[in-house]
Structure 1
Amino acid sequence: MIHLRQFLVLSILYGYGTLSFALTVEAHEDTLVIDENLSLRDVIDATYQHYPQQAIVKAYEDEVQALEQRSTSWIAGYPMVYLQYIDDALISNQGISEIQSGYQVPVWMWGQKEASQRVTDQSSLAAERYAVALKHEIAGLVRNALWNIRITENRRDLAHKILAVADELLRVVRRRVELGDMSKSDMLLAESDALEKKSLLMQAEAEVIHANKAYQSLTRTRLMPGRFEEKVASDRSLSDSHPALAAATASVERAQAEVDFVRLSKQGNQPSVMIGTDSTSVQRSRDYGTGTNLVFQIPIGGDDWHAPQVAQANVILNEKLAQREALHRQLEKAAHEAEHILDLDQKALVVASRRKEIAEEQLRMSKIALENGEISMIDYLKIQSTAQTALKDAAERNILVLKDISTLHQAVGISP
């Protein structure tokens, strides 16, 4: 009865391993080239140059140039040419006619030109800080992509070693079966285990390919730095100098400058000066008397009509303030979580290192026990599986600690 159960278990395991092997898609190579002279900062800079959001940076720069042209202009709006003809043909019909012409130029209100310049200056600062924040965001993406590659490569390398152990075990068991020291069921167990390990290796290789492709898609290059580990910064506190917060603050200041400018703009109804001529002819004479025409136009009142424009600009300002506060809270949360995860993984690494030592000893002892016939093949494979899990955890935990440092730096605004 016991042999029948073992046979059923072996058949299931063997069938599963064979199916996994058959369904595995043949890997396509997306290999990366390690450049020891390439730094993490170099990759980030290169990625930034080809990042899609560069179009937004360029748009902000164009806006700053346009605002600078407005602020440095001597006139405050669109100049106009004025031309008017008047006669009395339809009413008194005394032959009086008048021709007026002029050139009308809008002029700045008191303090309006300075307010326009403040909008330009704050827009320029906001554009610069947006570019810095964008580069910091890209740094986070590059960091994450590189550490994903490191993790998947580590899993693949461990899968290679585990498969090598399984293949060696199968070779030894097959030889002992031939000598009559072990049963064929033990050989089937060992073979099923080897096939399972081969399937896991294929999955690990596929994950490496996906991680490599993600890195290439992000950076648009096949070169990657050989070393990108970061030392823990002494100051890991979140401050207003964080690139994202600095950009949000600049956006608030730009919106405030816009409110001040709109408050002085009077819906675009600028004071104006018109200089021209006024030519008059009396009693159908072809002779015109020509004089100089000088007109000043100064808008007064109208605050009820102007108030909605100011209110709309103020709404935008308060939206920017709310967005900055929400961002600050998100960054506080992210920084706290990153610090906590780093602390947990550092403690877990100590535990994993001890488990690794125990696992290595268990593997040594169980191998001797199997050779002496003290334990069965299925018990040995269980011990081996548990030990290999401990070994994999120790190897990956060390990488996770290094990745946690990178994640913490990203959260508090430290760029490479």
Structure 2
Amino acid sequence: MATMVLPAFADSPLATAFELAWQRQPAAVSFAERQRAVDARRQTADALIAAPPSLELGTRSDRFNRNQGARELEAGLALPLWLPGERSGSQAVAEADANALSGRVASLRLDLARQVRELWWGWQAIRNERGLADERLAAAQRLRDDVARRFQAGDLSRADLNQAEGVMAQARALQAEATAAEALARYRLESLTGPLGEQPGATTAARAGAMATPAGEPVIVVPASAKSAGTVVSTTHPRLLALQAQGELARRQADLVRVQSRSNPELALSTRYDRAAAGLENEQTWKLSLRIPFGGGPRHDARIATANAEALEAGAELALEQERLQRESGALRSQFAAAEAQLAAATQRAALARENRGFYEKSFRLGESDLPTRLRIEAEAFEAERALSSARIGRERTLSQLRQALGLLPE
């Protein structure tokens, strides 16, 4: 079966940075309490009565008018009752609310992953620029030393030595600029994640290879059937799950509103002790009553219309988001294929440039080539290394963006 390469699940510094950032988010801090609220709503929906019972106490006396000793005491207990279908509807809303909370948290985590990925790869690109600047300075120092030796031997002029010194000064300035840019990029990332601690440096090996591949997200194999727009975005995508849960909650709430056409009826049981006058015995009576409120009307119609509108809006938003994600993933697959091709070409170019630089370094030391040629070869090698570094970062960034579009968190 034909396949295409996509990022896989594996621990990485990016995943660590993401988890550090999530722990600092308000949604993560408040999640436990929100879960408690959901559990409480479930318990409320599972209760045998619609609301807590109420105790009624009352007394009546003629002390302030006739004052003949008449007295009446009354105590009762009122139990709010569920409307037909209200309890099952409330249970469905509570379950949908729990799913909506899980979906909302998953969607927030994915949104945070996008921010972390953008800042992470921006930092990695600048770290590689810093590594390139270090290598350029080292190459400039080697060139300056070679020119100084030939100047002492009388092969080169003072102007050639000054030119080599200028190249080294320029490389030192670029290194300082890259160092400052790296510090700023790290500050922006750590503003989201908190302190990251020591990270592996972006190293170069001018003789053996180019910039080290930055720590990103590894690779998995996805069937070629996933290339079609309709099958790329999984139904388990956090954004889609969140919108589905939101839509289900809106529909359940609309169903519940239809049932709740009036206030809850109340079943009351009360007892009364009364005495007609002083000296007479107390008499006790019992009362069982049912209170049924009237309902319906414009107020209830407005609640139904609002609930229906929210359900329709959630369904429309889900369809739009699914279409957007399908198009985004298709575009990113094409970008990823292009990034792979660019990386292959940049790798070949850098290898050839490193080989040529080795040849001309040797020939320059032997006095077989002049300084302008050596400077041109060094510039070409540096640009080739920069292009390779940019291609590697571009591939990893596109890989990460494709993973984001597919709803996968950094791992």
- TM-score band by shorter chain is 0.7 to 0.9
Per mean C-alpha deviation after superposition, the further-off stretch among 255-264 and 89-98 is 89-98
Alignment partners' CA distance in 1, 2:300 and 2:397: 55
Confirm or deny that 1:238 pairs with 2:233: yes
Note if 1:262 corresponds to 2:257.
Answer: yes
Q: 1:57 aligns with which of 27, 31, 34?
A: 31
Contact 2:70 2:275 in 1 (8 A): yes
Matches within 5 A, 1:296-315: 296-315=290-309
User: What is aligned with 1:20?
Assistant: none
Q: Kindly indicate whether the alpha-carbon contact (under 8 Å) linking 1:363 and 1:383 is maintained by their aligned counterparts in 2.
A: yes
Residue 124 of structure 1 is matched in structure 2 by: 98
Query: Which of residues 151, 154, 157 in structure 1 aligns to 2:128?
Result: 154
Change (3 A) 1:57 1:305: same
Alignment of 1:335-414 (within 5 A): 335-360=329-354, 363=357, 368=363, 377=372, 380-414=374-408
Give the conservation status (yes or no) of the 8 Å contact 1:85–1:100: yes
Query: Per the alignment, do residues 187 and 248 of structure 1 end up closer, same or farther by CA in structure 2, a change over 3 Å counting?
Result: same
Q: Which amino acid aligns with 1:412?
A: L
Which of 157, 167, 187 is matched with 2:161 structurally? 187
Q: How is 1:126-145 mapped onto 2 (pairs within 5 angstroms)?
A: 126-144=100-118
SS of the residue corresponding to residue 259 of structure 1 reads helix
CA root-mean-square deviation:
3.7
Letter in 2 for 1:230: P
Matches of 1:276 and 1:94 in 2, distance apart?
Answer: 26
- Aligned amino acid, residue 156 of structure 2: M
One-letter amino acid of the counterpart of residue 192, structure 1? G
Please say if residues 97 and 282 of structure 1, whose CA atoms lie closer than 8 Å, have aligned partners that are also in contact: yes
Distance in 1, matches of 2:404 and 2:32, equals 25
- Looking at structure 2, the residues matched to 387 and 43 of structure 1 have their Cα atoms a distance apart, in angstroms, of 34
Given the alignment of the two structures, is residue 249 of structure 1 paired with residue 239 of structure 2, yes or no? no
Partner of 1:176: 150
For 1:229 and 1:304, the matched residues in 2 are separated by 56
Quickly say closer, same or farther: Cα 1:203–1:279, change in 2 above 3 A: same
In structure 1, the partner of 2:288 is 294
Is the alpha carbon distance of 1:56 and 1:257 closer, same or farther for their aligned partners in structure 2, counting shifts above 3 Å?
Answer: farther
Which residue, 306, 321, 329 being the options, matches 1:327? 321
Whole-angstrom CA distance in 1 between matches of 2:217 and 2:345: 22
Q: 1:294, CA displacement in angstroms?
A: 0.9
Task: Kindly state the Cα deviation for residue 88 of structure 1 after the two structures are TM-superposed.
Answer: 9.0
> Secondary structure of 1:413's match?
coil
Task: Report how far residue 113 of structure 1 moved.
Answer: 0.8
Write the distance in 2 (CA, Å) between the matches of 1:61 and 1:307.
32
For the Cα contact (< 8 Å) 1:279–1:290, is it kept in 2? yes
Aligned residue for 2:51, secondary structure, equals coil
Gaps of 5+ in 2: 1-9, 201-213, 227-231
| Superposed displacement of residue 141, structure 1 | 4.8
C-alpha separation in 2, matches of 1:72 and 1:125: 17
TM-score (norm 2): 0.77
Q: How far apart, CA to CA, are the structure 1 residues paired with 2:198 and 2:269?
A: 67
Shift of 1:325: 3.7
Q: Secondary structure at the match of 1:53?
A: helix
Task: Work out the CA distance in 1 between the residues paired with 2:155 and 2:215.
Answer: 50
Relative to structure 1, the CA distance from residue 109 to residue 223 in structure 2 (aligned partners, 3 Å threshold; closer, same or farther) is: farther
Question: What residue ranges of structure 1 are gaps of 5+ in the alignment?
Answer: 1-35
Fraction of identical pairs, as percent: 24
Letter matched to residue 247 of structure 1: A
Per-residue Cα deviation, 1:157-179 (whole angstroms, up to 9, x for no partner): 22222211111112222333344
Q: Shift of the alpha carbon at 1:81?
A: 2.7
Residue 361 of structure 1: how far off its partner (Å): 5.5
Distance in 2 (CA, whole Å) between partners of 1:289 and 1:37 is 79
Q: Quick one: distance in 2 between partners of 1:220 and 1:127?
A: 29
Matches of 1:414 and 1:347 in 2, distance apart? 24
Structure with the bigger RCO (C-alpha within 8 Å, sep 6+) is 2
SS at match of 1:266: coil
Indicate conservation of the 8 Å contact 2:14/2:120, yes or no. no
Distance 1:317 1:198, change over 3 A: same
Write the distance in 1 (CA, Å) between the matches of 2:222 and 2:275. 88
Q: Give how far 1:245 is off.
A: 1.4
TM-score by length of 1: 0.76
Note if contact 1:148-1:211 (Cα within 8 Å) is conserved in structure 2.
yes
- Quote the Cα distance in structure 2 between the aligned partners of 1:256 and 1:315: 10
The change in CA–CA distance for 1:37 and 1:359 in structure 2 (over 3 A counts) is: closer
* Cα offset, 1:149, TM superposition: 4.8
Over 3 Å counting, the alpha-carbon distance change for 1:360 and 1:95 in structure 2 is closer
Alignment partners' CA distance in 1, 2:124 and 2:311: 44
